[in-house]
Chains A and B, each alone.
Chain A
């Protein structure tokens, strides 16, 4: 009789093996040095299904469920890659990055990083992979902005103090970045593509164009903002170091917008 720990490891390896439960169980049985590691040694058949078919129900469900999560979270990526290629990347990602969290929201946190590492170095300068990677980054930032903390429930979000210090410097305690503000730079207008896909439009892949974006949530709605390079770099600077002192002159062109859109509070 196998112990519970070995049974669970065997079961897990069997239902997550990319080649199916027969391969998975055989590999697991050997790796765990189980005396009785064949499927029929562990799983009872039913009147209508043999032991392997019963185990395969869990194998199929594992990949379908987690693939469904990626599919739902990255509709624009799926549109850009096409269903077949998206499925290949998604399933390979799931094999390489099994969930270690109690939350499915964490499942795809590393999906952008995984895709970035999937680009062969000799293709790193090609535009299409860069578009794909930036698109998946933007989709992830949208999820993070949508689900994370925002300014809606924070106290005193209506009284930021940019210009009243009188010394030509913005006080550090006035520069509170919204927790839902995300910034990204892309060589493509990936936001237009993402929004078109989400509207159900069939759009071609865009041409390269330097793009600086902010993603932020305001009153529970996520908005994507096109920024100038200067504005983007300033926000980056502030978000990297909230204690930094920046001149009023630098902030002044943007302060009204930042307050209105709650980039800062």
Chain B
């Protein structure tokens, strides 16, 4: 099976044209003091783009400090590439400025929509997987790439429902988008697993059938089993099932960068690093052991806004 994987035709194509910085972590405010004091050994950081647009203050200072010392990739949550609202050019120009300021390796967001009629739900809402959606997204990705003057990298989100009018599998849909709009893919392995359980498809079939040479980056994260479905919670360790899937994806996409997402109940920085470094074992097909975590009341996606620290306010 291994030889089949490395001989997959798509593996021979030139990888989508980005560097591979290695193993990275999300830049989150609880870790700012540790990072500034210790300049820890981590290959790169991913930032939530919206947390650093329109801001000054401590977060902006830390961002500049980090950008001087580590490679940064930008990961957005409000592009709403699939929405039928007009594209927000002001927002895109701010993304572009932030990318220049941080010398971002790449700019990513999700293959989803987040709002309509001028509203933003701040959630990653699923696209109907049909011809109309496909054409719409492809045209929008091309437009965004023209404004950003760089390729967009799109992530497969977790989803909790599918549409009656779906005519594509998700892997076919993202493949068409990537190939026809000529963009990169951020393969979130945990999301593939979560969606595979929620929709009853084969996660390995998904991994087998995407254009591997376009995979720029992978995400790994923890999730929560609710009994009837799985929620992408980013609040715990990566499960063994996801590590297995990651092992296989890494065989297909050996040059893709890897990032551990952990956005709620965030542990100490060194605990995160320890979890991230399990990826090295997984890449050698030594799948780390981890438990499946259950919570029937879990809800999706942590809030991606960094909350201010109470220590930062005093009476003069």
Residues of A bordering B, CB below 8 Å: 1-5, 7-9, 11-12, 15-16, 40-44, 46-49, 51, 53-55, 57-58, 60-62, 64-66, 68-69, 72-73, 98-105, 107, 142-143, 146-150, 152-153, 179-180, 191-192, 194-195, 198-199, 217, 220-226, 261
Contact = CB atoms under 8 A, between A and B. Distances in A.
B147 to A, nearest CB: 14
A141 to B, nearest CB: 11
Given A44-B163, A47-B200, A105 B55 contact: yes
A61 B133 CA distance: 24
Assign chain B's interface to a size class: 35 or more
Contact of B314 (A48, A57, A68, A221): A221
B122 A104 contact: yes
5 contacts: A46-B199, A100-B119, A100-B120, A221-B313, A223-B314
B57 A146 contact: yes
B313 A223 contact: yes
A2 B83 contact: no
Contacts of B228: 46, 48-49, 53
Given A7-B163, A100-B118, A146-B57, A61 B312 contact: no
A25 to B, nearest CB: 12
Interface of B: 50, 53-61, 78, 83-84, 88, 91, 113, 115-123, 125, 128, 132-133, 136, 160-166, 198-200, 227-229, 231, 299-301, 303-305, 307-308, 310, 312-316
Contacts of A4: 84, 128, 132-133, 136
Nearest to B309: A146
B160 A222 contact: no
A67 to B, nearest CB: 10
B314 A153 contact: no
A51 B119 CA distance: 24
The interface residues of chain A, by DSSP majority, are classed as helix
A61 B264 CA distance: 14
Q: Which of A53, A101, A198 has its CB near the most chain B CB atoms (within 10 A)?
A: A101
Contact of A65 (B199, B227, B301): B301
Contacts of A198: 310, 313
Contacts of B310: 198-199
B162 A69 contact: no
Contacts of A69: 303, 305
Contacts of A65: 122-123, 299, 301, 303
Contacts of B305: 69, 72, 104-105
B161 A60 contact: no
Given A43-B162, A103-B54, 17 more contacts: A4-B84, A7-B128, A8-B83, A8-B84, A12-B117, A44-B166, A46-B198, A51-B161, A72-B303, A98-B119, A99-B122, A100-B119, A103-B50, A103-B78, A142-B313, A149-B56, A153-B61
A146 B312 CA distance: 8
A16 B316 contact: no
B115 A12 contact: yes
A6 B1 CA distance: 45
B165 A1 contact: yes
Contacts of A49: 228-229
A220 B227 CA distance: 45
B199 A61 contact: no
A102 B123 CA distance: 11
